[in-house]
A and B are shown apart, each in its own frame.
Chain A
Amino acid sequence: MTATSASLRRRRRHEEVAERSIISTMDRRQPIVRAVVGIVGTAVLIALAIACAGPLLWLFKAATSTSTETLAQPFAFWPSGFHWANIVQAFDEVDFARYLGNTLLVCLGSWFFGLLVATTGGYGIAVLRPAYARIVSAAVLATLFIPGVISLVALYLTVIDVPLLGVNLLNTFWAVWLPASASAFNVLLVSRFLMTIPRDLFDAARIDGAGAVRVFAEIVLPMARPIIGVLSLLTMVAAYKDFLWPLLVLNRPDLQPISVALPRIADNTDLAVLMAAMFISVLVPVLVFLVFQRQFIRAAGSAGALKE
């Protein structure tokens, strides 16, 4: 696309006559089409709001109501006023701050190791390309096609007795951080991105006397910033959402992230307090999402592009 047509397109979008899709601008001039598009569009939006934001609003209501109100009248809006005390109780009685802290540690560690493996590995496969890179890349790719379930038990047995090192990672955060870093998807995402950078750039840097480390630190990392952003979001969200694996390797209650702790305390905690705890656990990712909305959508989109 040339510069002129791009700027033309941008100007057009500015005039609210964006790129076309199934329905053309000419169709939209017809009043019937306009009415149907308007009505259906509004209906879809309302349905999405009720289905997707509704449960979260209800959770907020339940978190600030008493248990009996929630159980007896699920659609009554605060019949006896707001009960902010539930949220205080969640921190006092359930030790919720600790679970939140553990979640933060799990996320940060998974992010760090995920990024370390993906960027260095992606750089090796896409840019350095030694003779064995092909074998490594094929072996990484192969794990993408093998269903994760195959190694669940074997991975658990590996973690409780790491070969050659003989250490037991059970009930340490390493048991969550390290296995999460072995993500073929992440490595692929980075190496695909780096392959689109013209090789002349690296060659020029090499001729100027920059070693592999300097090229990595001063060219690759800054240039890969968009993909690192995408990767950061994906790894953090995955770590925040993960349940089965932390459930297996973090038995000790004082080490558990909220995803493991919540179901454990669910049955013997007052409903209102549980709802308050759940509300806080939702609030964190939702706020992050609202701030980085564009990046999230781009991350999900690029993940989809890779699947294609």
Chain B
Amino acid sequence: MTTATDVTAPAAVEPVVAPPPRRRRRTPVTWVRHGGLTTLLFFVPLLLSFGYFSWWPILRSLVLSLQQTNFLTSTWVGLANFQRVLADPLLGTAVWNTTYFSLLAVVIGFPIPILTAVFLAEMRRTRGLGSALAYLPVIIPPVVAVLLWKAFYDPSENGLFNTILGWFGVGPIAWLNDPDLVIPSLVLYATWAGFGTGVIIYLATLMTIRTELYEAAEIDGARILRRFWHVTLPQMRGILLIMLLLQLIGTFQTFTEPYIMTGGGPENRSLTILLLIYRYAFVAGDYGRATALSLLLAVALSLLSGLYMWATRRWSTS
């Protein structure tokens, strides 16, 4: 094995003919002879890929946020980019819209896959069919689904959703054109598009819950609803907490839905933070300002995750 000998840095290797047979000495030659070079070769794709397209861009973001750059020259501007971000009156709008979107997506979108999975777990013969149906929206490319839902949200009387509402004597509703309804409409779509993943993941978790727990609860006289409350939910707690955090992180980076459905309108009421970043960078060409805002969002999300982890850990120990 190579583990013991390849502590030396991967230095340039000269093609020496006869290496000394002493095992203990760690020279580049013994490193190569013990397969160090081959091992390193296996790391090359990963190192190149992550180096160029993950690690370097992250480091570069930190630099870019302090610079004013066009493609030819970059000048250091200190915290000016951050000042310009914070001075933008649209920032408050974008932060509010994004927070509203995320919280509403949790309220509407979080319980639905849990309940669906719990019901499907009880359905023995149709479980496979049900989970396949639930996963169908996840398969559809978001762009197609968004365009399709944009057609459903047609504000005219003959729009698909308005026709359905018309059967009950309600409407027509302007949906995406109504400043107060645009975010709820986007959340409704996002819930539909994403709940299948949750269903599959929760279903897999539900199948791992030990049957003895249910049997014990049953012997203690717990009825079906109480078994759900006292056995199922506590057993799912770990995955529920992770999924909630992942959903928050995901929805705070919402882009495709408002970009295609509304372009941020009406009256900037669906302008999300990521859409603002996109506008800064790729409409206005102001890369420094865009990076500064990205960095602020990333820091906020990291703080949120840290706080969340800390809170849930405290809560579970007490």
Which residues of A come within 8 Å of B, CB atoms?
16, 18-24, 26-27, 33, 37, 40-41, 44-45, 48-49, 51-53, 55-56, 58-59, 62, 70-75, 113, 116-117, 120-121, 123-124, 128-133, 136, 139-140, 143, 145-163, 178-179, 181-182, 184, 187, 203, 206, 211-213, 216, 237, 240-241, 243-244, 248, 258-260, 262-263, 266, 271, 274-275, 278, 281-282, 285-286, 288-289, 293, 296-297, 300-301, 303-305, 307-308
Contacts and interface: CB of A to CB of B under 8 A. Distances in A.
**Nearest 3 CB-CB pairs, A to B?**
A304-B201, A121-B46, A151-B57
A53 B277 contact: no
A244 B275 CA distance: 11
A241 B58 contact: no
Given A45-B123, A116-B45, A182-B54, A285 B294 contact: no
Interface residues of B, number: 116
B64 interface: yes
B186 interface: no
8 contacts: A120-B42, A120-B43, A133-B43, A151-B57, A161-B71, A163-B52, A243-B142, A286-B140
Interface in B111-149: 116, 118-126, 129-149
Contact of A262 (B58, B69, B147, B287): B147
A131 B3 contact: yes
A158 B43 contact: no
Interface stretch (B17-25, B84-92, B174-182, B223-231): B223-231
A21 B60 contact: no
Contacts of A143: 50, 54-55, 58
Given A124-B39, A301-B204, A22 B54 contact: no
B204 A304 contact: yes
A124 B46 contact: yes
B254 to A, nearest CB: 11
B133 to A, nearest CB: 4
A72 B158 contact: yes
Given A24-B218, A241-B141, A300-B197, A154 B43 contact: no
B297 interface: yes
B264 to A, nearest CB: 14
Contacts of A149: 253, 274, 277, 294, 297-298, 301
A79 to B, nearest CB: 14
B287 A178 contact: no
A296 to B, nearest CB: 7
